[in-house]
Structure 1
Amino acid sequence: MQRTITRVLLAVFGLIELPVGLWPLLSPSGFYQDFPGIRTGWVSMDGPFNEHLIRDFGGLNLALSAILIGAAVIGTTAVARLAALATFLFGMPHFLYHLGHVSHFEQADQVLIVTTTALGAVLPLVLVLIPGKRATPATP
């Protein structure tokens, strides 16, 4: 079984991914122009609009949200680690791409982009390393 902190982190990560999945599916051009919402242009500054890729990104994030929230609900350590691994396998290449492609952004955006994508790569590893609960023997 998972520790409470693991379940909470899985649920939080899943809830963070939910709007990042829904937004590009519901409004691909809005996501392209306005993501992340507090500072706009993070996607549009990286190249021309491609609805197919924006929708694929939304679908991927929505699927990631489902696996993370599902892992929190299911509660087993193996499922939690699988969800964390899936999140890491998305997050690390995403981070590495952005690490090498931020020079055309303002400095504040550079810091925010590198920090948020780094968290998306590192925090799933933390989930993998949190040990599961030891099974307690049933008392007669």
Structure 2
Amino acid sequence: MISTTRRVGLVVLAAQGLLVGAWALVGPRSFYDDFPGLGLHWTAVTGPYNEHFVTDVGAAYLALSAAAVLALAWGDLRTCRLAGSVWAVFSTPHLYFHVRHLDGLSTADRVGELGSLAGTLVVAVLLALPAREG
């Protein structure tokens, strides 16, 4: 059985992956132009639109969500750690890319983008850690 804290982390990652993945697959142009929403445009500054790239990103996020959802459904620590690990493996180079490509973003957008990506990585790493003894 996994802790409530780990369950919350898995729900956060699953929801994030479902939102990003579904948006990128169903509306790749909208995702490119408007992500993350609320009048912000973080993806459009990374280079020219490429439908193949955007839909592949959407598929990757949905696959990551599947890992988090299965870890929630199965409720065991091993699967939780696996889900956290796959999210961390994806999130590390993703964050690194965006750290190196901040041109075109305002200071607030830079903080928002890097903060959200770093937050995802932190949650993933925490889920991947072994359970504390005692």
Give the TM-score taking structure 1 as reference length. Answer: 0.89
Matched residue, 1:59: 59
Partners of 2:133 and 2:74 in 1: CA distance: 14
Answer with 8-17 or 58-67: which moved more.
8-17
Q: Is the 8 A contact 1:32 1:49 kept in 2?
A: yes
How far the C-alpha of 1:4 sits from its partner, in A, is: 2.0
Q: Is the 8 A contact 1:68 1:83 kept in 2?
A: yes
Matched residue, 2:108: 108
The count of aligned residue pairs is 134
Give the TM-score taking structure 2 as reference length. Answer: 0.93
How far the C-alpha of 1:40 sits from its partner, in A, is: 2.5
Partners of 2:97 and 2:120 in 1: CA distance: 13
Report the identity percentage.
36
How far the C-alpha of 1:133 sits from its partner, in A, is: 8.6
Q: Is the 8 A contact 2:81 2:130 kept in 1?
A: no
Matched residue, 1:91: 91
| Stretches of 4+ aligned residues off by more than 6 angstroms | none
Any unmatched runs of 5+ in structure 2?
Answer: none
RMSD: 1.6
* Structure with the greater alpha carbon radius of gyration: 1
Any unmatched runs of 5+ in structure 1?
Answer: 135-140
